[in-house]
Amino acid sequence: MGGAVGTGLFLGSAQVIQSAGPSIILGYAIVGLIAFLIMRQMGEMIVEEPVAGSFSYFSQKYWGKFPGFLSGWNYWVMYILVAMTELTAVAKYVHYWWPHIPAWVSALFFFVIVTGFNLGNVKFYGESEFWLAIIKVVAVISMIVFGLYLLLTAGADSTATVANLWQHGGFFPHGFSGLFYMLAFLMFAFGGIELIGMTAAEAENPDKSIPQAVNRVIFRILVFYVASLAIIMSLIPWNQLDLGGLDKSPFVMIFSQLGLGWAAHLLNFIILTAALSVYNSGMYANSRMLYGLAVQGNAPKMFAKVSKQGVPITAVIFSSILIFGCVLLNYFVPEEALSHLMYLAVAALVLNWALISFTHLKFKRAKKLEGTRVKFPSLFSPVSNYIVLVFISMILYIMWVQNFKESVILIPIWIIVMFGLFKMLSWNKSR
């Protein structure tokens, strides 16, 4: 959850509330269910074979060399984009307190700190991520409890009431289409939930810890996404919430409008740590995927080198150099940086989820032919795989008819570029 609960929920939900109203709650539940099905599909594979760079490993073993090459590099690029998005969001949270500080300065400051976290051993990374993640976990639960207290103690003249979820235009104030066309945006909030696949090779007891973590995800989605948004939209009618597009967090503004300035400042700090947590996770995922690609021969061998502490230093440094592009982006186009990065990250996420589900179908077929009984079978496969793939097709349609056209067009271009690089590397190897 440390890799998933971040900007997509705390900042990105602002645009969805404006377009979908209270039905955003249903939207997060729908996308959360799809994410859980993918988690179970991936969980089945990684419990059976806990390896580094799991996505690309399984794609290469059960599907072919190019799918392995594509899935690995796509996941790496996705997390470069996610890390850049979260770093950009951090600058916006800092701007809430100190609007005079340029976005690129904030981005540079936190870039140096998080890169330092990841250059230490994996235990140091794990400790830093635990504390960054636990802050936002405790904060979201506390906010839900505090919100319930405000609802239960609200006076007759208060606007705080659960009825706000169906009054003021109804649960679907702009019709079902208002929610439907926001599903692509909601996907970004769940990008990173599949990060557990990166931890399998370094987990102490994957047979036990991975199934536990995967099965708890659905409960945590209900708490962190569904319950938290239900509470904040009960406190103030959705159409009276002053959000101002992507620049303000509804979680902060709700308490600011209620006159609870201390709660708004505290929550802004919590949300800042949440973004840093996802960025920290992204850096970890990038370096481990790049290491896995190098081990498979799909990336230069220098990325397979590790320090005495077992950290792929070269992979961490190379990934961080590209993430530094975020600092430059915030210097040249600070107003547009966040939206551009989110659109590109969603495109990479769509391809990533599709590759996981396709690979799982291949994995199931292979295990069936072997007569192997897996330890942690996925739910309702292959039906769940087809549900996931239909949903992803629907997301591509939504992206096409909305303002995501460039992202959709980039997907086939990206696949063609990757195929060209793959052929070039294959030819070089054969020589």
Q: Which pLDDT does position 192 carry in this prediction?
A: 67
Instruction: From first to last of the 431 residues of the chain, give the pLDDT tens digit.
Output: 555 666 666 666 777 788 888 998 899 889 889 988 998 998 898 888 887 656 778 888 899 889 988 988 888 888 888 788 788 888 878 887 888 888 888 888 888 888 887 887 677 777 777 787 788 788 788 888 888 888 888 777 777 888 888 988 889 998 888 899 888 878 877 776 776 666 666 667 778 888 888 888 777 777 778 888 888 888 888 887 766 554 567 777 777 777 777 777 888 888 888 788 878 877 887 888 888 888 878 888 888 888 887 788 899 899 888 888 877 777 776 666 666 677 777 888 889 889 999 999 999 999 999 888 888 899 888 999 999 999 999 999 988 887 778 888 889 998 999 999 898 888 877 77
Closest CA to 404 of 184, 149, 97, 172: 184
Q: Which pLDDT does position 5 carry in this prediction?
A: 67
Q: Which pLDDT does position 52 carry in this prediction?
A: 60
Residues with Cβ within 8 Å of 14's Cβ and at least 6 positions away in sequence, in order, are 243, 244, 245, 246, 247, 248, 249, 250
**Strand (E) or helix (H) holding 408:** helix 405-430
Q: Which pLDDT does position 53 carry in this prediction?
A: 56
CB-based burial of residue 168 (10 Å sphere; 0-12 exposed, 13-18 middle, 19+ buried)? middle
Q: Which pLDDT does position 337 carry in this prediction?
A: 65
Q: Which pLDDT does position 242 carry in this prediction?
A: 66
Half-sphere exposure of 84 (CA within 13 A, CB side): 29
Q: Do residues 351 and 408 make contact, with C-beta atoms less than 8 angstroms apart?
A: no
pTM exceeds 0.85: no
Q: Write out the E strands in 273-331.
A: none
